[in-house]
A and B are shown apart, each in its own frame.
Chain A
Amino acid sequence: MLKDNTSDVTVGEAVASHENQAVDQHFNFAYLDERTKRMIRRAILKAVAIPGYQVPFGSREMPLPYGWGTGGIQVTASVIGPHDILKVIDQGSDDTVNAVNIRRFFQRTTNVEITTQTQAATLIQTRHRIPEMALTEDQIIIYQVPVPEPMQRLEPRERETRSLHGLAEYGLMHVKLYEDIARYGHIATTYDYPVLVNHRYVMAPSPIPKFDNPKMHMNPALQLFGAGREKRIYAVPPYTSVESLGFEDYPFEIQRWDAPCELCGSRDSFLDEVITDDQGGRIFVCSDSNYCETQQNTVEQTAVTAAQSVLKDV
């Protein structure tokens, strides 16, 4: 669905549209054949019907190795249509290698409109972050997942973890959290923090920082998760309960920083730490590049408007 796009064209967008090529005729739309897409869509439907439950699927060979987002790509390829507007981010940024390559892949195979604006996109494929700006009911966010099984480190046998999920036996998850508190004084997990979905399944939300976990709760958008190497798809339907695990006396807490974003002044977003010199100088910058830009423009706009009104009064 097209969104009204009235903000200035960013550097990222300019680069992207310059790279825009004609659809490569050697491939089916979005690379996967239609039967594969149907198979994946069936898996997605199942996943949506059982929030948080890992649905096995026949993961295909993709033109990039495991560990580079093949699961996310397959899910995107199965739901993308010619009128979709696609945003791809990696650790919050549109400009990193992974994001650029995946975006280029979809341009070659679908020729859909691409964007860096979170609010303009209909599909967002992401590696390890949720955009800062709130999503809507018209959007789908697709997460790239390395390890779909939240208990994998504690119980490597899949036969066992499947039983545990089936019987809702999640004592083991809390053992891990208990161990963290015993060892470090607090729950040490800072990313891929396990959540309870729809009061039933414990899910690995992918290595997003725990800062992002609250965004998953009651989100109007459809959240899909794809793990290509592990061959699992799972989903959180819109407006679904997603609670991060914790103890009554050691509840789940998100990260906080002492400093605001150096570029846009935000105190509400997830910040990356950037080392600036050899003396240990550092600054904190928004991880979500689109959000940061938008904030900066808003600040600038406010400043320009304020200056203009001052000049007007002169």
Chain B
Amino acid sequence: MSLVPPVLVVEGLVRRYGDRVIVNRVAFTIAAGEMVSLMGASGCGKTTLLHMLGTLDRPDEGRILVEGRDVARLSAAERTLLRRERLGFVFQQSNLLPELSTRENVALPAWRNTGHRQQSLARADALLKRFGLDRRADAQGHVLSLGEAQRVAVARAIINEPRLVLADEPTGSLDSDAAHAVLDALSEICLTGAALLVVTHDPSVAARCTRRLTMRDGQIQLDPDQPRIAAVI
């Protein structure tokens, strides 16, 4: 039994769209510092699950505990605050706001969180430097390469030092070099003690994770090749 307290606990999660069950009694935990992949065929419910974990969508049944707090018991304002302070998101593409520069894109969540623009921009600059993007700080989002844009999105996802980062196919539209750079950036998240759940189709991405979850028909499958797997139905 791990002594590290779980950042995320999922119990009996169910999500239906009409008569169709998209996520069916899913349960697992993710501890702080863990890098967990979630694999599965298209349409198996990965993104729906990810959005429920990120409080963008609500489950029909089950519980989601983020750092011990049941998100179903939170008000809309508290869920917004949870997303802002404790969660980070990286999506597959179109992650950046085109009117803003790279540093402004990264600084935006911190600016909203603290109200201090200059401090947020300084923190954004530090993150961009860490990810080797400092020379692109003033570039608009739309002139960046896909790989650069995804690393900017990773920097933005962690600027408020979240406890859990949810990444939805972050390397899905990247070549292998760019994908490696993004994975390197994502890996750094876990070094800070945050947990990472990354939805992917790419086995090489899953291979870099400490644990792998596989979804099929809305359910988490036990994988005999993955002895470290902790997911249970």
A and B part of one assembly: no
**Interface residues, chain B, CB within 8 Å of chain A?**
none
